[in-house]
Structure 1
Amino acid sequence: MGSDTICYIKSDLKNKFSYFKFEKDTVFQRNKADKNNNLVFILHGEMEVIYGDLYPRLISGGNMILLTPLSRCVCKAVSTVELIILGFGTLNHSCDKYIFQNLTPFFSLIKYEFRELEIRESLDRFLQLMQNYEQNQVPMADLASRKIQELFIILHAYYTSDELAMLFYPLLGKNMEFKKLVVDYYLHVKSAGEFAELCGYSQGVFQKKFKDVFGETVYQWMQRQKAEYIKHRLMTSEVNLKELADELNFASSVHLNKFCKIWFGMTPSEVRQTFILKKNLR
């Protein structure tokens, strides 16, 4: 995928259904600053998806995926693609919360794997109605919260707990408010001290709580996020290595080179070339 992308999910789409249509060969992705979660329903067409450092996979119409603020995902329309996207933050309705609370016990029982989930008949009828509303510009301000509630009732009724737990895995577990704080601020900090201050904690308390929730230190987590971001950028764009080093505040491309050798055992150029070779062999 080239470096030109269209940011298709805007940060103001919270608690709202939106319809999108992308022509063949269009490359699109989330807005980097978007703090919402996005439930993406592929209505028609086929798209190639690179999620994190996974190799491209084709996802066709009749499926849905979840993207969060931590998701690194770039999509390319293999044919004309039509999507309905729900942008949502914290779920406020008691029914929505109840469904997520019921899924929480599955958090420690399953190993997360990013994959699509089939859109079943009852959900498809609901999405057709939402598409009709969007295309005919039906005012949705008063309806949106009720439609979101209806969506989660449909999901609860027609999907198993195992299926929903895998789909919503990134949103499950304890201390979701703390996780949301971390997601909201991690792009704006350069150190654990800055992170703690921005989140309103003393550094000691923040470090302990962070380790309890994420299973690693703040520094380890931030370094891993940086490594995943670098690999994703190398896989999905033609970004110049000096530009990438500047973007991530490395002193020089030499320092970026050393960082990649530590994390991946190879240089940035080798990471990119390895991805290209493996993609061509698929």
Structure 2
Amino acid sequence: MFSPDLRYTKFTDCASCPEYRKQIFKYRSYPKGMMIPQEKCMQNTLYFLLKGTVEVNSEEHPHTIISDGQFILQPIGSKVEFKVLEAVECILYLFERPINVCNERFNKGASIAETSRREAIVMEMCPPLRYFVEGVRMYLNDDLLCAGFLQAKRTELVYLPNCYYTLKDLAAFYSPIYRYSKSVRYFVMQNYMKAKDVEAFAQLGGYSTPTFRRLFKETFGEPAYQWMLKKKCEDIQNDLTTTEMSISEISYKYGFESLSNFSHFCRTNFGQSPRSMRTIKRENQ
């Protein structure tokens, strides 16, 4: 018979596995008085507050106080800042679009959200959801970040609200995503990785290239090509300095025809080779 203590011993090293993922759930803690400056949400994000109190300021939640046991949604592309009123612990869940676990309820909820004019709401964690989020905190602290495991937890997270909250509340909660999904900004943030150039990007959205360039400039304040290059540089730098992906994998991910082309891109835009960028990052750790 196993000792009960073995239940709390972790025997795997997920960080060395190619299925290791970091960007689905995140744990964050902040001291009282800390200001988290305005930043743009690069994905739809749920903020689950496990401890403390914060003031949220965004278009969706202007000067809103959220406390232990509550959670909010910020849609992709939205800008949000936080002021920590009491020391905080929270779990973030990042996703591209709501997952459908029940066709009937999903379609009814989407219909309500699209026609409703209710403001975004702050939700209270029901006990099953609270237990789930507490469990996610434990898994993150144990570095349990296997892609398959996290995908299962993602499905569970979608399933729990679907069971324990009314359609009216869920529609109001997710309404910023449904409304925002009609915008040019949402289309761009969801699809920029799929487009090789501006012309392909315009075609993907069903726009003429001149129309897409105009709408893009009006929305983002800079030309589409310049924004796409900047975003590509940010994403490549992030992959080189914060992930364990091989340089070959990163090169392939961003559509370079060869490693030499990828190296030339990095030297041109960062002043260093991909290998040098990764070496400097490790030396500074």
Q: 1:40 — aligned with what?
A: 47
Report the 3-state secondary structure (helix = DSSP H, G, I; strand = E; otherwise coil) of the residue aligned with 2:33.
Answer: coil
Q: 1:236 — aligned with what?
A: none
Question: Cα offset for 1:113?
Answer: 1.0
Q: 1:18 — aligned with what?
A: 26
Structure-2 change in CA distance of 1:175 and 1:131 (3 Å): closer
Distance 1:97 1:36 in 2: 23
Q: 1:74 — aligned with what?
A: 81
Q: Identity percentage over the alignment?
A: 24
Question: Cα offset for 1:53?
Answer: 8.4
TM-score normalised to structure 2 length: 0.57
The one-letter code sitting in structure 2 at the alignment partner of 1:122 is: P
Of 48, 51, 59 in structure 1, the residue corresponding to residue 58 of structure 2 is: 51
Question: Cα offset for 1:68?
Answer: 1.5
Structure-2 change in CA distance of 1:89 and 1:29 (3 Å): farther
Q: 2:16 — aligned with what?
A: none
Q: 2:207 — aligned with what?
A: 201
Question: Cα offset for 1:57?
Answer: 2.3
The one-letter code sitting in structure 2 at the alignment partner of 1:50 is: N
Q: Which has the larger radius of gyration?
A: 2
The one-letter code sitting in structure 2 at the alignment partner of 1:60 is: S
Q: Is the contact made by 1:104 and 1:173 (CA closer than 8 Å) also made in structure 2?
A: no
Does residue 120 in structure 1 map to residue 111 in structure 2?
no
The one-letter code sitting in structure 1 at the alignment partner of 2:30 is: F
Question: Cα offset for 1:96?
Answer: 6.9
Q: Is the contact made by 1:96 and 1:149 (CA closer than 8 Å) also made in structure 2?
A: no
How big is the alpha-carbon RMSD for the aligned residues of Structure 1 and Structure 2?
Answer: 3.8
Distance 1:94 1:114 in 2: 20
Structure-2 change in CA distance of 1:96 and 1:78 (3 Å): farther
- Can you give the 5+ residue segments of structure 2 that lack an aligned partner in the other structure? 1-20, 193-198, 222-285
Q: Is the contact made by 1:18 and 1:86 (CA closer than 8 Å) also made in structure 2?
A: yes
Structure-2 change in CA distance of 1:127 and 1:88 (3 Å): same
Question: Cα offset for 1:130?
Answer: 0.7
Question: Cα offset for 1:122?
Answer: 0.8
Q: 2:249 — aligned with what?
A: none
Question: Cα offset for 1:112?
Answer: 3.4
Q: Is the contact made by 2:184 and 2:215 (CA closer than 8 Å) also made in structure 1?
A: no
TM-score normalised to structure 1 length: 0.57
Structure-2 change in CA distance of 1:53 and 1:154 (3 Å): closer
Q: 1:103 — aligned with what?
A: 109
Question: Cα offset for 1:138?
Answer: 2.4
Does residue 89 in structure 1 map to residue 96 in structure 2?
yes
Q: Is the contact made by 1:13 and 1:88 (CA closer than 8 Å) also made in structure 2?
A: no
Q: Is the contact made by 2:56 and 2:82 (CA closer than 8 Å) also made in structure 1?
A: yes
